[in-house]
A = this chain, B = another copy of it.
C-alpha cells in the first residue's frame, strides 16, 4: 500500500460508528459521525503555509487532503453544542513508498499544528504516530472491504506508559442511490 493509493481509497463520505474505552473508569463512549475526505491542490494556501512552517522536514510532497467531520456523542446529550464539528488539512511527505510524515493544521487530541510519522504494515494497515504536548496517539486504519474501513487509536500520557483511552471506529462509505 502506498500513501497515494490509501488516500484515493479513503476519499468520499463515511458514516462512522466510534466506540471509546476509558480504561481507568471502564466507561464506554459512543460517537456517530459523518466524515468527508477530499483531496486538495498542492498549491492551496493552507498547504503552502503548513510546508513553510515545517521547512526543515524532508520528504517528497504527496497528495494533500482535507478531512471534515460532524459528530454526535452519547456523552453530550444535554449539551449538543459540545458535539464535534471540524475540519483539518493533512499534507503527507514521503520518505519511502511505505513511510513518511504527515503535517496537519489541527490535531484530534490537542488543538494545534502537529507532525505525525506514518508507515504501512505488510497487510496494508496504515499506522500513524503523533506526539502531542501532553499525549502520544497511535492510530491504525485498515480497509476490510472497498467501502468499509476500521480505525483504532490508543492515546497514552506523554510522560510514561499510562494509557488514557482506546477507541475503535467502523466507517462505511456513504453511497448515493441514483
Q: Report how many residues on chain A are interfacial, defined by Cβ distance under 8 Å.
A: 27
State whether A21 touches B23 (Cβ < 8 A).
Answer: no
State whether A150 touches B163 (Cβ < 8 A).
Answer: no
Total identical chains: 2
Other-chain contact of A152, B17, B28, B121, B150 (Cβ < 8 Å): B150
State whether B23 touches A170 (Cβ < 8 A).
Answer: yes
| B residues near A36, Cβ cutoff 8 Å | none
- Report Cα–Cα, A168/B125, bound state, in Å: 16
Whether A148 contacts B170 in the complex (CB less than 8 A), given A21-B17, A28-B19, comes out as no
Q: List 6 A-B contacts (CB under 8 A).
A: A23-B170, A26-B32, A28-B30, A121-B123, A148-B166, A152-B152
